[in-house]
């Protein structure tokens, strides 16, 4: 047995480092597995929703001259878009988890100044990812809004409802573009801070 205190100190440090590595791996796997399970549940919900809407549509088709069957298709598309957005958000959570644990592992070995600089960079990247996800959600909403409005205008052309659908489409698209501009404005201080480094 080696009684050298320096050797014992290094052995303890190595064990602590190994435990930290194991805990980090376990944490990341747990986050990743939870995201996978949630994505599978979203797929099952989408399948159930599609089956339910198809059944309702069949029932309503049995009624002669039933208007508005296109609404079932719109509802199916809206739910599918919702599922896609939720999956993107889950992927972001996994990416953020990996980024955080990678940073935490590296930061333990750095000086306080480097640690703060790294933390600032990590937070900036986190906000940038969040803004990207929000813009993705807004893009999906804009696509769905356009598709729904075009469907209503096509199915109900020549009626006041078609004119209203057009007005709603223009208004919602304006709101979505304004929201994207607000996100860009909110992210500017972080971009300026990163550029100043």
- Dist CA 23 CA 29 (whole Å): 10
- pLDDT of 96 strictly over 70: yes
pLDDT score recorded for residue 37:
93
Using CB atoms within 10 Å of the CB of residue 113, give its burial: 0 to 12 exposed, 13 to 18 middle, 19+ buried. exposed
Give residue for tokens 């309702």.
56
CB neighbours of 145 closer than 8 A, spacing ≥ 6?
168, 169, 172, 173, 176
CA dihedral angle for residue 145, residue 149, residue 150, residue 156, rounded to 10 degrees? 160
Q: What is the pTM of this model?
A: 0.64
pLDDT score recorded for residue 11:
80
Distances (CA, A) of 125 to 92, 95, 107, 121, 190: 11, 11, 16, 6, 9
Average pLDDT on 152-158 reads 84
Q: Measuring CA to CA, which residue among 58, 70, 50 is closest to residue 165?
A: 70
Cα dihedral sign, 149-155-157-160:
negative
- Dist CA 18 CA 76 (whole Å): 49
pLDDT score recorded for residue 10:
78
| Percentage of the chain modeled with pLDDT above 90 | 12
Average pLDDT on 148-154 reads 85
pLDDT score recorded for residue 41:
92
Give residue for tokens 């986050």.
31
- Dist CA 34 CA 81 (whole Å): 21
Q: Are 153 and 70 in contact (CB under 8 A)?
A: no
pLDDT digits (tens, 9 = 90+) for 36-83: 999 999 999 999 989 998 888 888 887 777 677 788 888 888 888 889
- pLDDT of 31 strictly over 80: yes
Length of the chain as a residue count:
197
Q: Which 3-state string (H, E, C) describes 46-84?
A: HHHHHHHHHHHHHHHHCCCCCCCCHHHHHHHHHHHHHHH
CB neighbours of 41 closer than 8 A, spacing ≥ 6?
none
């Amino acid at each position: 047995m080696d009684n050298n205190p320096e050797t014992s100190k290094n052995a303890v440090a190595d064990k602590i480092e190994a435990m930290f590595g194991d805990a980090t791996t376990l944490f990341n796997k747990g986050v990743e597995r939870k995201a996978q399970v949630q994505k599978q549940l979203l797929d099952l919900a989408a399948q159930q929703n599609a089956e339910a809407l198809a059944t309702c549509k069949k029932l309503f088709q049995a009624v002669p001259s039933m208007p508005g069957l296109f609404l079932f298709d719109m509802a199916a598309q809206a739910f599918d878009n919702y599922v896609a957005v939720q999956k993107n958000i889950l992927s972001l959570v996994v990416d953020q988890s990996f980024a955080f644990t990678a940073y935490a592992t590296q930061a333990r070995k750095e000086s306080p100044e480097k640690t703060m600089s790294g933390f600032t960079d990590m937070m900036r990247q986190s906000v940038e990812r969040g803004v990207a996800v929000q813009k993705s959600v807004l893009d999906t909403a804009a696509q769905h809004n356009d598709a729904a409005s075009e469907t209503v205008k096509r199915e109900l052309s020549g009626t006041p409802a078609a004119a209203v659908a057009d007005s709603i489409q223009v208004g919602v698209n304006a709101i979505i573009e304004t929201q994207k501009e607000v996100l860009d404005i909110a992210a500017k201080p972080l971009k300026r801070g990163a550029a100043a480094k």
